[in-house]
Structure formats: structure tokens, C-alpha cells
Structure 1
Amino acid sequence: MERQQYVERCSELFAVGGYEAVRTAAEAGLKESGPDPVLFRWLGQAHAAEDDDDHDRDAETAYRKGLALAEDDLGLMVSYLELCLRSDSFEYPGRARRAVILQERIEELAPPGSTERERVDDATGWAGRGYWDDLNLAVAHGQAQQAATAEQSVLVTGALRRAARGESSEGTGEDLRAAELAAAVEMLQGVRNAPLRLLLAHRVEAYVLTFLASFGLNKVLVWSGVLDFSLWGWLLWAPILMAEAKLRQAKKLGQERVIARIQARHDKTHLP
């Protein structure tokens, strides 16, 4: 298989979160085609995406090998800069020093308004955040996750109702969102999952009622003298947490299926 085919494979797999598969493809390409800066960049990005110290070290190794082949490769430099800025400057002072050098070199090579400059601005803005910025970002991230879960609940409920009416569903193919939805419908079928389906169909009402019930139960247990302090009411959140855990499992399952389909297509296309 040619180098460009490995690059395209890495790009497709990275887009759907198949980081392990990207690493496998990049390593296979490097083994077959020899050292290549673009494949080293994909290998580094697939390690860095795991957000783990061991993977970060492997990502740094890949970036440095790539830059040894093409020292002015903007894609490699920006990716390496992002890794350096994300790292703790006290624990990894070498990366902090390299970040300064990389940023200066990128600003020399990348024209204003380019994609690389935008990535640098985003990375430096992220690295320069303070405590309150982190707190605000965490709140915004939590709100975005809740909104995404609410949207997924609506979509899953609609799909479950269509399935109950006997409407046939189209194949999901390599559509990540469709695959996640199909996995959720599959995992929520059956009588035992009926309560979870009900909670997802009336998610807002379920949240409000559960909060009132849990808060009320804790107060009753304390006011009645049964307990001096109670957290038992929070157990009433278990069904909602189980329903949302099902959605997370479905997202992961759908992603795994799409990655497997992409890999199967690649293997079929590139058979000798």
C-alpha cells in the first residue's frame, strides 16, 4: 500500500476518534514506506489525543522524529506546540522551553490568518488561562455535555418509537451519529429497560422530580429524628444515572462499529 493511502486511512480514522487504529495504521505505513513526516504527525496526534503521560511521551518522540526529517513542517510544529503548551511546565520544563522556540518559528513561517496561526492562537489562549477561566470553561463544558445528552435523549426516544411501530431503519454505514443512535436503540430494547426509556423520554421532568424527591427524603429522615444527617435520598438518582450511562455506552459502541467498518473497507479496498 502506498504512503498516501496510509495517510488517508489515518485521517479518516482520526475523524471518528479511532486513535488506536490511527496509531496502528501510521506504524504500518512507517514500517512499509519508511520514515515520513506526515505519518509521524498522525502517530503523534493519535498518541496526544489520549491525554495520558505515557502517550504524551510517545507523541513527543513521534513529533521529534518527524521534525528531524522536515524541520519546517508546520503541521508537525503546531502539533508539537500544542503538546508542549498542554504539559505542566514544572514537570516538563523542556517542553515549556521548546514551546517558545516552536511558536517563534511558526510565526515566521505561517502567514497571518492561516490555519496554523489560528491553531497557535487557540493553543496559547488555552495555556494562558487562569483559575476563573478554567472554572468558567468547566461550567460551559458541563452545559454543553448536558445539552448534547438532552439532544441524544430526544433522538433516541424518537428512534425507539419508530422501532416500536415496526418502521424499518436504514443502515448506518459509517455515519458516526447514526451508528450511536442505532446502538442506543439496540441497548434500550426489552421490558427491563422500559423504566430507562421512560426517563429518557421525559428527561427534564425526571430531573426535577428526582431532585425534589431526593431532597425531600433527606429532609424527612433528618426532621423525623431517624438520622442526624442523610444522603440516602441521593440514591433516587440511580435510575437517571443508569439511563445516561446507557447513552454513553451506546456512543462508545457506535464509535467502535464505525471504526471497524472503516477498517474493513480499507482492508477490502487495499487487498493485493
Structure 2
Amino acid sequence: MQAKEQEGSSACTEAEAGAAAAAASETATNTKADTATDAAAIEEAEALLHQGRLVEARQAAQRALDTGGPAARLYTALGRAHAAEGDDDHDDRAEAVYRAGLDAFPEDIDLLSAYAELCLNADYLERPGRHRRGPELAARVRELAPGSVQALRAERAAGGKGAPKPVRVQRHDARLVLKLSPAPRTAADRTRIQAGARPEDERLAVLAETLDTLVRPGRGPLRLMVVHPLASTLLSWASYAAILLAVPALHLSAWAACAAVLPLLPSAVLQLILRGARRRARTHTSTAPTHTPQDLTFPVLPPVPTPTPRDRITDALVLATAVGAAAGSVTWSQIQYRDYPRYTVAAPLSLGNVDRLELTPAQQGMADQLNVNFAGVAHETFAYVYGNEELGRTAFAVFGATGDFHQMTPDLLNELRHGLETSGLTVSAEWNADPGRYGGWMKCVTYKPAVSVPEVACGWADKGSMGIVITADRGSGGSVGRNSAADAARQAREAVLHRGAERPGPEV
């Protein structure tokens, strides 16, 4: 009886032990699954961060924090994804994330290092409190992990004025490796191997990202700009200056000056590419080294030299070229715009087989009207009538004004037809004519006065003169009649006005 009770008790104990073991096994399995899920979420967020997909990285990290609970690496990835945006709002959110992470993990080196970098890079005028926290956080990192990768990154962020700018380091390293490697693709591959073997080296990470993007198809000119910075810079800005100065020199439209930005576009594209590479490298997290052995033939990255006198001279030349070309082009264009041809008015006593008629009612009426219309505007007005005095016939009349009309446009000649029609005259034809050797614009119209034969009025305008020649319509019609009227207008204009060194002959 006692033996049976002992056997029953032993069986119960074994059953309870088996149930406990099964429960423990299930708990361990669930824990491993949760751990694997958390690790996968962390790796996903860090991978997105490294690829520069900042929005997706933030979403992945925040989702993992909401569902899986706090994790220092998730806080670090989320904060870096905000900080990499480079604007004040995201910097504020990054600081909030880092502080929340440090509340849960106060001695996590990666969190402390990331927060220290954010504070050390903050503007001491706009964010003085954040900037002051930087040295304290960097000191805490050095205290917890002296000589670590995180401590080195914090020290680099605190480099101050003596440290070269990231873009200078980036260009220096890319130029060095591209010059020493047989082919760009080879240089990129070797750098990627080194960066994988030394993930703690942020400088190598920047170099690897830079070369990866520079060796893509169609980016050969950008590589040349990196390898030969002095020549490419001078060539770009010299082209910029040449285009700006060509606008006034060749009398091109002011819109042509917009083409001056074209030589600068490659430099702008290169800047964007380099900035993107630095941003992707900044999101680089310190993971374990790969098993790939280091390339012992890879060139050692030396300290970046300080700017040389040649660099300063180049910068000064670029600045002088940019400012000088822009100012010179604008000044030259303004001088041209405000300049106008100077004319001397001297009408010959005879022109062809017609004579200049003096003190005719038509001539006096036109002269008086011009004096009223151009008072205070023109330098000189003129009105002449030519014809046969013995027969009492008028061949043509020419009248106008000279002066500073540098704002003149061909639209003024459109008023010729409008003025005639406003006076009650009927315009039967209108056409543009060749203005002749004095340039400017010319337009002719045919109209019918109320009590005489049809007439042709050809008006001209340039930046130094304007006027009208009125002749009788010869009735030949078509292009022959139009050409005859325009020829007469050009001859009258050039006989009355004399430009520059031209001097009229004596009035005989």
C-alpha cells in the first residue's frame, strides 16, 4: 500500500516537472523570437539610415519603439535620422529622442556620442544651451569609453576652428585615392573593402560613399573636377565672366546673361552629390568589422593640409571674377542702354531736283507744333519742306526731333497709324521698311487726305532721333511704290541728320 502511494507521488512529481520544463521551453522560444524580431527591426532602421532614406528610417525606428519597447540602438537610429536632415526642427526632435533614450539608458555610449555630436555642432548663438551641453557629454563619453570610436567621433565634432571642414576633407581624400588608383571603379571597390574592415572610421565611410557615387555612369566630368579642382574652378568662373561680358559686347538680349549660370551648374551638381555622400556616411553606425581582410596596399589617408597661399589666391581670383564680371556687365549694359547717337541737323538747300522752301505755312505750322510737343524733351526740333518754288509744288516734307531718346522702342511707330486715324484720315496700307544706314526702326503708311491726292508717311525712330517724311503717293502700287516711298524717306533722313564725324556740306 505504501509502495503504491510512493509510485503515485513520483508520477505526479514527474508530470509537474515536465509541465514546468515545457512552459520554460515555450517562454525561452518566445523570448528568442521577440529578440530576433527586435534585432531585425533595429537592423532595418539602421540599414535605412545608412542608405540615406531618412523618413523610412524614422518610421521603422518609431514603429519598433512603439511595438517592441525601448532599445538604445533604436533611439540612436531615430535621433540620427532626425539630425541628418540638417534643419532646426529636426535637430529639436533629435534632441528630444536622445534625451528620452538616455533616460532609459543613461550610460549607452552610442546615444551619448550621438547627442554630444548634435550639441557640439549646434550654433552657439541660436542654441546656446544645447551648445554648452556638448563638452559635458563628450567628457562623459571619454570617461565611460576612453579611446573608443565614439570618443573619437565626439572629439572630432569638438575640433573647433582648427579642424578642416568636412567638405575639404572629403575632396582631399577622394582626389588622393583617385590619383593613386589605376581606375575609378577599382578605387571605389578598394575603399569599400577598407571601410567594411574598419567601420569605426567615419572618414573612410565618407570616402567610400563619395567614390561609390562618383564612379556611376556619366560622372566622368565630376571626377575630373575633383582631381583637378584648381583648373576646373578657374575654367568655370572664367566662362561665367566671358558670358556676362559677351552680353554687352555683342549687344545681346539681357536674358542671354542667364546663360552665365550654365558653367557653374557642374559645380553645383558636384556639391549636391558630395553633400549626399556625407549625409549617408553620417548615418553610418559602428557595427562589427567584416571578415574581409584589409587591403594593405590602400593608401594611408594623411592629415588634410591647411589652405596654401595658392588656395587663398584662387579664392580671391574667383571672388574678384564673380563680382567684377557681374558689375562690369551691368555697368557696360547700362552705359550702352543710356547711350544714344548724337545728330547734327543741317538740311541742304537742294536735294536732287527740288529746293528747300522757306517760310511756307506748312513748314511754319509743323515747326510751331514740334516746339510745343517736344519742349523740355528734345535737344533740337526741325521741319523742312522741299519742292519747286516756281511751280508752287511741294515734293515732300520732313520734320522731327533729336535728343536723348535712349528708352525708345519700335512700339512708338505704332502710334503713326493711330494718330492719322484719330485725325479722321483713312489708312489704306501699312508696312515696315528698312531704316537705312542710321539704323533704328521705320514704318510707312498710305492714307487719303480730305482735299488732296493720297500720301505716304514714313516714320523713323532710334535712340537719338525721330521724325516723319511725307510724300505724295506715286500710285505705282505694290512693292515698287512702297520701295520708292521708303527710299525717299531714307534719303531725306540722311540728308537732314548727320551723325558723329559726319559734317554736312555748305548750304549752297
List aligned pairs for 1:15-26, cutoff 5 A: 15-26=50-61
Contact kept, 8 Å, 2:214 with 2:223, in 1: the verdict is: no
Check if 1:120 corresponds to 2:154: yes
**Greater RCO, 1 or 2 (C-alpha within 8 Å, sep 6+):** 1
| TM-superposition CA deviations, 1:206-225 (whole Å, max 9, x none) | 98877655544544555x59
Quote the residue 1:28 is aligned against: 63
Equivalent position to 1:95, from 110, 114, 130:
130
* Superposed displacement of residue 92, structure 1: 2.0
Quote the residue 2:106 is aligned against: 71
Change (3 A) 1:102 1:147: same
Equivalent position to 1:137, from 165, 170, 193:
165
Query: More helix per residue: 1 or 2?
Result: 1
Contact kept, 8 Å, 1:216 with 1:233, in 2: the verdict is: no
- Partners of 2:167 and 2:271 lie apart in 1 by 21
After TM superposition, which residue ranges in structure 1, 4 or more long, deviate above 6 angstroms? 176-182, 197-210, 246-249
* Superposed displacement of residue 96, structure 1: 2.8
Normalising to structure 1: TM-score of the pair?
Answer: 0.58
Change (3 A) 1:245 1:233: same
Check if 1:44 corresponds to 2:44: no
Change (3 A) 1:114 1:141: closer
Contact kept, 8 Å, 1:210 with 1:236, in 2: the verdict is: no
List aligned pairs for 1:125-204, cutoff 5 A: 125=159, 128-129=160-161, 137=165, 140=168, 143=171
Letter in 2 for 1:88: D
Letter in 2 for 1:50: E
Unpaired segments ≥5 residues, structure 1: 157-175, 189-196, 253-272
Contact kept, 8 Å, 2:121 with 2:131, in 1: the verdict is: no
Quote the residue 2:118 is aligned against: 83
Contact kept, 8 Å, 2:61 with 2:75, in 1: the verdict is: yes
Contact kept, 8 Å, 1:10 with 1:25, in 2: the verdict is: yes
Q: Percent identity?
A: 30
Check if 1:60 corresponds to 2:88: no
Change (3 A) 1:225 1:140: same
Superposition CA RMSD, Å? 4.7
* Superposed displacement of residue 97, structure 1: 3.3
Letter in 2 for 1:140: R
Contact kept, 8 Å, 2:237 with 2:263, in 1: the verdict is: no
1:72 counterpart SS class? coil
| TM-superposition CA deviations, 1:91-141 (whole Å, max 9, x none) | 223213322332232222112x2112211210111xx21xxx58x637726
1:21 counterpart SS class? helix
Equivalent position to 1:235, from 259, 267, 279:
259
Change (3 A) 1:120 1:247: closer
Letter in 1 for 2:40: Q
* Superposed displacement of residue 47, structure 1: 0.5
Unpaired segments ≥5 residues, structure 2: 1-35, 186-208, 277-508
Contact kept, 8 Å, 2:174 with 2:211, in 1: the verdict is: no
- Partners of 2:60 and 2:121 lie apart in 1 by 25
- Partners of 2:173 and 2:268 lie apart in 1 by 11
* Equivalent pairs, count: 211
Letter in 2 for 1:89: Y
2:124 counterpart SS class? coil
- Partners of 2:234 and 2:272 lie apart in 1 by 22
- Partners of 2:211 and 2:166 lie apart in 1 by 28
Contact kept, 8 Å, 1:82 with 1:120, in 2: the verdict is: yes
Contact kept, 8 Å, 1:27 with 1:43, in 2: the verdict is: yes
Letter in 2 for 1:137: K
Contact kept, 8 Å, 1:44 with 1:62, in 2: the verdict is: yes
Normalising to structure 2: TM-score of the pair?
Answer: 0.33
2:141 counterpart SS class? helix
Change (3 A) 1:16 1:237: same
2:158 counterpart SS class? helix
